[in-house]
């Protein structure tokens, strides 16, 4: 007999609950290899062993075309592959975030226009074209490649931060803070910037994945690091000709890049879903 009471249903979060640990596991493995790998073995030396040997006791993953141990290359190649990408994204958020925040909080339209219009011109430039131009003058420089990747991400980051901060900058809370005589730094950084953190955090996963793709593409095409570098993308490019002879020389570094990007995107999707639920609950 129904007395008007309904049994509460639990949210079906089993799938999303499994995604987060899987994403964390996929992310931790390449990060751990990149951070701890160089301390576990000596750098691989060209010509130290026979080229394209299969897996064995002395070489768990075989050797590459230059006679270098693939496992040693794998342990030493992560810092450049991930370090350049993460550094580029950090610079993009610092520069683009500052420009977007300044444009959103400015009370003069001409300041907003002067900040955003030049970025709109840079936004459609092909990313690999910019990196290629930089590589001509600074070939083999990881700093130059990272800065080039950062520069192509600055316009998109600035537009994102501006859009995310615009509502808070023109809202009643900001007006009340101005009337109370609060400092500009407290208003901009304490309130407006904090309101934009959720969309920026959700965007970070996609942004880092794009940076990994651009850095790996530059290195794969020979526009970035030296061809003898242990970098994961360089290793994939260097050993691709021997894929059928020694597949681990290509598959192992490629797996590290794939695990990092997939794991990061799974965690970013999880964060984005949580942010949406929080907003819906607040309404």
* pLDDT at position 26 over 80: yes
pTM: 0.79
Mean pLDDT, the chain, rounded, equals 81
Average pLDDT over residues 129-158: 86
- First vs last C-alpha separation in the chain: 35
Q: Are 211 and 256 in contact (CB under 8 A)?
A: no
Q: What percent of the chain has pLDDT over 70?
A: 81
Q: Are 181 and 209 in contact (CB under 8 A)?
A: no
* pLDDT at position 277 over 70: no
The tens digit of pLDDT for each residue in 116-126 reads 888 888 888 88
The CB-based long-range contact list for 222-228 (8 Å cut-off, 24+ gap) reads 223/128, 223/131, 223/132, 223/135, 223/139, 223/145, 224/84, 224/131, 224/135, 224/140, 224/142, 224/145, 225/80, 225/140, 225/142, 225/145, 226/140, 228/46, 228/66
Q: In whole angstroms, give the CA distance from residue 86 to residue 20.
A: 21
* pLDDT at position 130 over 70: yes
* pLDDT at position 57 over 70: yes
* pLDDT at position 267 over 70: yes
Q: In whole angstroms, give the CA distance from residue 142 to residue 148.
A: 10
CA-nearest of 283, 264, 275 to 29 is: 264
Tell me the sheet residues that pair with 63. Answer: 69
pLDDT band at 10 (very low <50, low <70, confident <90, very high): very low
Average pLDDT over residues 67-90: 92
Give how far Cα 239 sits from Cα of 45, 72, 160, 167, 255, Å: 15, 15, 39, 51, 14
The full length of the chain comes to 283
The tens digit of pLDDT for each residue in 162-218 reads 888 777 666 666 666 656 666 566 666 666 677 777 778 778 888 888 898 888 888
């Amino acid at each position: 007999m129904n007395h008007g009471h309904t049994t509460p249903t639990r949210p079906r979060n089993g799938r999303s609950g499994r995604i987060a640990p899987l994403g964390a596991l996929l992310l931790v493995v390449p990060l751990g290899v990149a951070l701890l790998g160089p301390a576990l073995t000596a750098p691989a030396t060209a010509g130290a062993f026979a080229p394209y040997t299969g897996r064995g006791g002395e070489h768990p993953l075989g050797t590459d075309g230059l006679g270098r141990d693939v496992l040693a290359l794998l342990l030493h190649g992560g810092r450049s592959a991930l370090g350049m990408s993460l550094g580029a994204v950090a610079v993009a958020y610092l520069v683009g975030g500052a420009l977007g925040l300044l444009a959103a909080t400015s009370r003069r339209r001409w300041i907003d226009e002067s900040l955003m219009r030049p970025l709109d011109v840079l936004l459609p430039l092909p990313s690999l074209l910019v990196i290629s131009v930089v590589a001509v003058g600074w070939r083999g420089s990881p700093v130059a490649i990272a800065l080039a990747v950062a520069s192509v991400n600055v316009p998109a980051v600035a537009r994102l931060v501006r859009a995310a901060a615009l509502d808070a900058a023109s809202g009643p809370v900001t007006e009340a803070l101005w009337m109370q005589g609060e400092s500009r730094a407290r208003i901009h950084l304490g309130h407006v910037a904090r309101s934009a953190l959720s969309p920026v955090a959700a965007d970070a996963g996609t942004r880092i994945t794009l940076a990994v793709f651009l850095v790996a593409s530059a290195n794969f095409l020979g526009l970035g690091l030296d061809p003898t570098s242990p970098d994961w993308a360089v290793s994939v490019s260097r050993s691709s000709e021997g894929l059928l002879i020694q597949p681990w020389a290509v598959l192992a570094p490629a797996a590290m890049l794939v695990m990092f990007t997939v794991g990061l995107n799974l965690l970013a999707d999880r964060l984005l879903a949580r942010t949406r639920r929080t907003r819906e609950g607040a309404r």
